[in-house]
Structure 1
Amino acid sequence: MSALGKEVAGILAKRRTGDAIFLTAEEVDEILSGLGVPLGGTKAVPVPLRATRMHFRGTKWLKPDHPDAQGHPLVDPADLPEWIRPTGSTGDGAAPEAGEHTGPKARVPFHFVWSPQPGVNGIGSGRNLRGKSTLLNVLMWSLTGRCPQFQNDVRSWIEHVEVDWQVGAERLRVDFDAVNGVATGQVVSFADTGSDTRSTVLGQFDGADFEGVMGSLMMTRLRLENIPVWTDTAARVHAWPAYSSSFVVRANQLDPIVGNEQTIGLRMMQMFIGTDWAPVQAAAMTARRGLDKAQAAAKDKADAAGEAVEVSRRAAEKHVQELQAKIRNLPPGTPDVRVMLNAATRASDLARETHKLEAKLIAQTSLAGTARQQLKTLKARAHTGYEDALAARFFHHMRPSVCPRCAAQVTPERQAAEPDKHECSVCTGELNLEALQADVIVAASVPDELVAGLVARTSNGDDGDSDAEEESPDEVEAAQIAVTAAEAAVAELTAEIAALTTERDEAAARVEAGSGLLSAASTRRVLELDLARAEGALGALTRSSDPKAVDPVDPVRLAVVDTAEQVLKKWVKKDQDPMLVKISADIERLTQSFGADNLSGFALNGAASMALRENGVRQRYSGLTAGEKLRVKIATAIALIQHGYVEGIGRHPGFLVLDSPSAEEMPEEDLATMVKALQDVANEAEMQIFVATRSATPLVELLPEANRVVAEGNSYVW
């Protein structure tokens, strides 16, 4: 039975009636353990971490005109290592990069050895790009197992690294070969046994597993605990990479105030302060957020399901309404199949009769046409004879006075001479004497039958017209009677066909109406079945229109972990608040000793947020300038270390790297003030601090020779 389990069980039992949960402390412990929440706090005792020796070597590949290349052999580009070889130097046709030297390079071997000391160690140079950051990068590479952001040429130059670390009472050596930033090596532990030193290989690595090996070794030895946090979607555990990154303060990475991981600044502060229950609180909060996430996901799923059901229900309602409308629009009534069949038979018979009559009509129409044509021919012939008689009587009684062709005058003498000379007074042709006696002027060359007709028509005078008309009255009358009879037969057939067609159409209409009713009845049966199914689906969707979320979280488990989180929050606050007051006072003292005497009234709260006053005006850490932030962040890191070693609690190993603090508007005199203050702090509390800066003078003036590596002027650190 844990103290936490007992406290949680007591609080749950004291809830108001209806909400009380009665569990034993053992049952609470079981629930918390199942959620990954430790049952007891751990005493945080700082374990010192110190770098005691660093050595790295390799080969610089320099242009022939570089000052350090003098006296070193030149190597043809084709013989250079692949990762050193300039682009296009092997005949692959690639163009060299801008500014890239494609000729031979000088091989310049190098090696660097230094034994940093406890307290403050300085790395300085008179100019930038002289190798300061390389020393820090090699140091952190060996500690974290992660290759830092070297310059490309420097990364390719380093071939071997050895760094000795003192972790508490244990001495470790991280020893590896490097090929363009990829490390292969081992971690060895050394133990002194009398006059002998015994070594034990603790871990080996080849490339990407370097970081994992260092994390597993260092987390255990430094007594650091994993930091569980809940991100937006899942639980995440921060371990060695987060801790090791917090050992470095860089001028270009000043947020948050503790560590370099924005999401875990609070947790990192709690871990370094060293309250016993801080890791348990982090685990409880992560577990509770995990349960909240599961509940929210279940609710979202239920809401989505409910929305989907509602959409389906509306669609089902619409489908039912459409089917009902279709049924309403169907014609009413039930078809009489016997009547429909009789009508169909009658329509078929009438169609056949109509077809026969139409054939007769075609024949009769043809006969009528023939009769009309014959009548027309007879009438035309009679009319022609009549016109001929009129013309003969007219033209033979003419007495032309001039020739119709040449317009020569026909004289009275010539006209009078016709009976004597027997010549036509116009054409002087010989006349027929017999016709002439009958007063008919006709040439002797005209056939006798034609002459006889002319004489007869002429001699008849006016009676000739009626004779011509009566020449064939029987034929015309008979033809007229035939036409009348034929047209009457056509009209009779047409009327009979029209009557049959009307009767046939009426029978067909009765058949079509019956067929429509029959089809409607069939369609109605289908629609009624569809409607029944649709109404059933609508009823089912209506009953399930508000699906309930299936809560995947046991409410008892949630209540236990939520209560545990609240209990732990109070316990951590109770232990932490007095420490924060002391730490805030140390931060203020240190910040002012670093030259920022305009800042005062520091208050670091439990949310890892800093309130202070700037020239007496309220201010927050986020509102400070970069130079002020840098001083405050360094002071905070040192205050946490100092607190741990003075109070004998905390988890910070006392190892700190300050990279280029003078880059943020820090004049040389302020840097000297900071270095002196750091020395004073290091004398009060056991720690090791590395300061890398371009301002080398304060390092030379304030630090012992063993505690510094300084390249003055244009010289290089290594």
Structure 2
Amino acid sequence: MDRDDVLLETRIAERAAVSVEDVRDAFAAHGVPLVTPPARSRTLRLHRLRIAGQRTGSVYPGPFDTSLRFSEGLTGLVASNLRGKTSVLELVTWCLRGSPRDLMAEAHWLREVDLDVEIAGQAVGIRLDLAEEEITSAVVLAGPAIEALELVRAPDADHEIIPLLRALSSASFAEQMQALMMDRLDLHPLVNSYKQTGTQTHGWPVYFGAVYLPAGRDKALLGEHTMSGLPGRLLQVFLDLPSAAALTRVKTAADVLAARHKAAQAADTEARGKRDEERHRIAKNLERAQERLSAIADTEGGWEESLPEVASHVVQLARAVADTHETWDELMQAHRRARAQRQHDAKLANDVIESATARQLFHGLDPTACPRCDQVIAADRRRQEREAQSCAVCSRPVTGDDNLPEEVIAEARQRLRDSTAAEKMAKDALEAAEVELDRLSGELTWAQARLRRAESAVQAPARLIAREEVLRLEGALSVFPELPALVIDADETKALKVFRAAAKVLEKDHEVAAQALFADLNREIAQLGRRFGIDALESVKIDRAAHLDITKGGGRTKPFGAQSPGERLRLRIAVVIALLRVGAAHAVSTHPGLLLIDSPKAEEVQDLDIRRLLGELAQLASENHLQVLITTRDFDLVHDVLPAENIIEARDGKPLW
């Protein structure tokens, strides 16, 4: 049988040297799917944007109700500066992404925003009602055809127009819209390990970064972010490489399990160190007690000091030692509490710097147990609170404004400074008590020696006391045995072995599947780059991490980030078109086929460059079923490159909407 025909779980089991049932159990226990079916079509097509509201200020004040219709291929939005070009892209983004990338200054003018769009072939109408820059009501409608949605802002069962979601706030709309887009475009969350012991999940906003291209000066080839290997993750998804999502989850699960094992070993090492330290302390005390017992036996008579006076002094010193030891014990507890508080404040300061949720909960209670049932709040609920913004006690979403993050961060840092100072004070007090305890203990030892010499008759009870001390310390040492060997959970060890083997198997599958796809992708990107005006471009090489190396004019190969802003923009567009072409050739689902580009002319040095870029882009968009929206203030440029039906313009300094 061909190895390619063998089930994935069988190949993983063979590599990990475990049973197939063990593989299934490990994947099921950690919620990781073994296989991911091929993606469905994920096309996006804009049809109509309606914007209504009340314009204030001195420039064309008054009510407005504008509808913009978008054609196939390349569409140019043309108007003077500050007349609403970029805001059209931002409103499309708000509707499709669920939240704006940059909230425009004119948002307070808006009352209604409607967007008609085809999502994976389904006619969808997005209807937003706004007030004071916030969504007050939103509904997303699905209809039998785009034309049926044009005059509709509410569900209509008679015409087969049904609601897909409803929301009464910006936050609710963002959450539901992002989930809807992930489902309709058949996309999976991008998961990576976070701080070794946790995971971080990226959703639709990260994918949308490959639709609304960043400025040419940004360094990411695909999407907006370079962190966590996101460009490569997007590339693999848009090439529909087999089991890309499963590979990501497998690697993350392996990282988390490995970190958990490492943490357990570190905790065991720390516990053993503390146990050894305590045993050493008891052993030293036992040694001193044995020396004192021997000294009593060797004491000679002839001491003329008053027995009552010496005995009284010994009693006073013994009480002082006992009181000082009690004080030392209290100071030790206080120091431990101060250290724990400082560690808590340090973690809290770090959390409020990185997390808006932590800042919103900063002044709230921090219970360790449920106030109703007294059960300890589990660590996974606290992790969910940090990562998914849901309360660790009631699991409800944490909402609220994060208007004063600097004040919260400053207060958290002040708390850390205060607790650090308190810890130092507690440590200083503890050390002073230790010095005093040592001094009094020494005096007591010397006084006890004087007492032994005062009268040989008292040696018997003194010897008895010393013997009791030796026996007590020997008993204490016996109840402090060495810790048993660390026991690692066998199921977790086996799961880690399975996931590491699975990562190797899936990586190999990726390599095999990627060979033909990436060869075609490199050829397409190079060809498109030359068409877009990078005449010296000889070849490109892109890998699965979305690292793009470029060779130009017989020179040294340089990475994508070393190219000029204009070249980076053209290469980004070339990558998207190449994805569409390769996807069509290999019958795989790829990029949604929608691009939003703000002011591409700003990245070009010469007018000739932008004319060539837009001319080729218009032709390629038409050939490859790509819809592109660009903004510019150059009326002549757009009319020279595009037909009238692909131009949306506002003449004579008027607003676009």
Give me the TM-score of the superposition, normalised by structure 1.
Answer: 0.64
Q: Distance in 2 between matches of 1:550 and 1:27?
A: 17
Residue 552 of structure 1 and its aligned partner are, at CA, apart by: 6.9
Task: Please give the per-residue CA displacement for 1:680-714, whole angstroms capped at 9, x wherever unaligned.
Answer: 22222112111123334322222222322233563
Q: Distance in 2 between matches of 1:576 and 1:593?
A: 25
The 5 Å alignment of 1:639-718 reads 639-712=578-651, 714-718=653-657
Deviates most, 277-286 or 231-240? 231-240
Q: Distance in 1 between matches of 2:458 and 2:533?
A: 101
1:248 to 212, 219, 231: 212
- Rate the CA distance shift 1:329–1:176 in 2: closer, same or farther, 3 A: same
Residue 520 of structure 1 and its aligned partner are, at CA, apart by: 5.3
The 5 Å alignment of 1:225-624 reads 225-233=188-196, 234-251=198-215, 254-262=218-226, 263=228, 264-330=230-296, 332=298, 516-517=455-456, 521-538=460-477, 541=480, 543-544=482-483, 547-548=485-486, 550-551=488-489, 554-616=492-554, 617-624=556-563
Partner of 1:213: 176
Partner of 1:419: none
Task: Please give the per-residue CA displacement for 1:468-521, whole angstroms capped at 9, x wherever unaligned.
Answer: xxxxxxxxxxxxxxxxxxxxxxxxxxxxxxxxxxxxxxxxxxx98776545554
Partner of 1:121: 75
2:162 to 194, 200, 212: 200
- Rate the CA distance shift 1:27–1:525 in 2: closer, same or farther, 3 A: same
Secondary structure in structure 1 of the residue aligned to 2:63: strand
Q: Distance in 2 between matches of 1:555 and 1:602?
A: 42
Partner of 1:74: none
Secondary structure in structure 1 of the residue aligned to 2:287: helix
Determine if the alignment matches structure 1 residue 176 to structure 2 residue 128: yes
Tell me the amino acid that sits aligned with residue 220 of structure 2: P
Determine if the alignment matches structure 1 residue 46 to structure 2 residue 8: no
1:68 to 56, 60, 75: 60
Residue 663 of structure 1 and its aligned partner are, at CA, apart by: 2.3
Q: Distance in 2 between matches of 1:296 and 1:597?
A: 53
Q: Verify the 8 A CA contact 2:242 2:509 in the aligned structure 1.
A: no
Task: Please give the per-residue CA displacement for 1:39-65, whole angstroms capped at 9, x wherever unaligned.
Answer: 223213432111111001111110xxx
Q: Distance in 2 between matches of 1:609 and 1:41?
A: 25
Secondary structure in structure 2 of the residue aligned to 1:173: strand
Partner of 2:24: 29
Secondary structure in structure 1 of the residue aligned to 2:557: strand
Q: Verify the 8 A CA contact 2:52 2:65 in the aligned structure 1.
A: yes
Q: Verify the 8 A CA contact 2:299 2:452 in the aligned structure 1.
A: no
Q: Verify the 8 A CA contact 2:117 2:146 in the aligned structure 1.
A: no
Q: Distance in 1 between matches of 2:627 and 2:202?
A: 24
Determine if the alignment matches structure 1 residue 165 to structure 2 residue 117: yes
Tell me the amino acid that sits aligned with residue 536 of structure 2: N
Q: Verify the 8 A CA contact 1:295 1:553 in the aligned structure 2.
A: no
Residue 312 of structure 1 and its aligned partner are, at CA, apart by: 2.2
Q: Distance in 1 between matches of 2:67 and 2:459?
A: 103
Q: Distance in 1 between matches of 2:282 and 2:206?
A: 56
Q: Verify the 8 A CA contact 2:232 2:546 in the aligned structure 1.
A: yes
Larger Rg: 1
Tell me the amino acid that sits aligned with residue 228 of structure 1: V
- Rate the CA distance shift 1:629–1:10 in 2: closer, same or farther, 3 A: same
Tell me the amino acid that sits aligned with residue 306 of structure 1: R
RMSD: 3.1
Secondary structure in structure 1 of the residue aligned to 2:213: strand
- Rate the CA distance shift 1:520–1:577 in 2: closer, same or farther, 3 A: farther
Residue 145 of structure 1 and its aligned partner are, at CA, apart by: 1.3
Tell me the amino acid that sits aligned with residue 258 of structure 1: L
1:109 to 56, 63, 67: 63
Secondary structure in structure 2 of the residue aligned to 1:312: helix
Secondary structure in structure 1 of the residue aligned to 2:160: strand
Q: Verify the 8 A CA contact 1:186 1:203 in the aligned structure 2.
A: yes
- Runs of 5+ in structure 1 lacking a partner? 13-20, 70-107, 345-510
Tell me the amino acid that sits aligned with residue 60 of structure 2: D
Partner of 1:11: 15
Q: Distance in 2 between matches of 1:326 and 1:174?
A: 88
Residue 535 of structure 1 and its aligned partner are, at CA, apart by: 3.4
Q: Verify the 8 A CA contact 2:124 2:141 in the aligned structure 1.
A: yes
Residue 286 of structure 1 and its aligned partner are, at CA, apart by: 1.3
Secondary structure in structure 2 of the residue aligned to 1:209: helix
Secondary structure in structure 2 of the residue aligned to 1:109: strand
Q: Verify the 8 A CA contact 1:668 1:695 in the aligned structure 2.
A: no
Residue 659 of structure 1 and its aligned partner are, at CA, apart by: 1.9
Task: Please give the per-residue CA displacement for 1:439-480, whole angstroms capped at 9, x wherever unaligned.
Answer: xxxxxxxxxxxxxxxxxxxxxxxxxxxxxxxxxxxxxxxxxx
- Runs of 5+ in structure 2 lacking a partner? 149-157, 309-449
Deviates most, 273-282 or 622-631? 622-631
- Rate the CA distance shift 1:46–1:254 in 2: closer, same or farther, 3 A: farther
Q: Distance in 1 between matches of 2:564 and 2:293?
A: 80
Task: Please give the per-residue CA displacement for 1:391-446, whole angstroms capped at 9, x wherever unaligned.
Answer: xxxxxxxxxxxxxxxxxxxxxxxxxxxxxxxxxxxxxxxxxxxxxxxxxxxxxxxx
Residue 569 of structure 1 and its aligned partner are, at CA, apart by: 0.4
Residue 588 of structure 1 and its aligned partner are, at CA, apart by: 1.3
Q: Distance in 2 between matches of 1:8 and 1:141?
A: 43
Residue 307 of structure 1 and its aligned partner are, at CA, apart by: 2.3
Secondary structure in structure 2 of the residue aligned to 1:113: strand
Q: Distance in 2 between matches of 1:664 and 1:294?
A: 47
Q: Distance in 1 between matches of 2:220 and 2:276?
A: 48
Partner of 1:142: 95
Determine if the alignment matches structure 1 residue 186 to structure 2 residue 139: yes
Residue 614 of structure 1 and its aligned partner are, at CA, apart by: 3.2
- Rate the CA distance shift 1:22–1:550 in 2: closer, same or farther, 3 A: closer
Task: Please give the per-residue CA displacement for 1:222-259, whole angstroms capped at 9, x wherever unaligned.
Answer: 11122222222412222212212321112166232121
Give me the TM-score of the superposition, normalised by structure 2.
Answer: 0.70
Residue 168 of structure 1 and its aligned partner are, at CA, apart by: 2.9
Q: Distance in 2 between matches of 1:698 and 1:292?
A: 57
- Rate the CA distance shift 1:199–1:697 in 2: closer, same or farther, 3 A: same
Tell me the amino acid that sits aligned with residue 38 of structure 2: K
Aligned residues: 496
Q: Distance in 2 between matches of 1:595 and 1:657?
A: 20
Residue 589 of structure 1 and its aligned partner are, at CA, apart by: 1.6
Partner of 1:454: none
Residue 679 of structure 1 and its aligned partner are, at CA, apart by: 1.7
Q: Distance in 1 between matches of 2:564 and 2:630?
A: 21
Secondary structure in structure 2 of the residue aligned to 1:692: strand
Task: Please give the per-residue CA displacement for 1:348-374, whole angstroms capped at 9, x wherever unaligned.
Answer: xxxxxxxxxxxxxxxxxxxxxxxxxxx
Tell me the amino acid that sits aligned with residue 23 of structure 2: V
Q: Distance in 2 between matches of 1:600 and 1:139?
A: 37
Residue 540 of structure 1 and its aligned partner are, at CA, apart by: 5.3
Task: Please give the per-residue CA displacement for 1:107-143, whole angstroms capped at 9, x wherever unaligned.
Answer: x1122211111111111334x3221111001001011
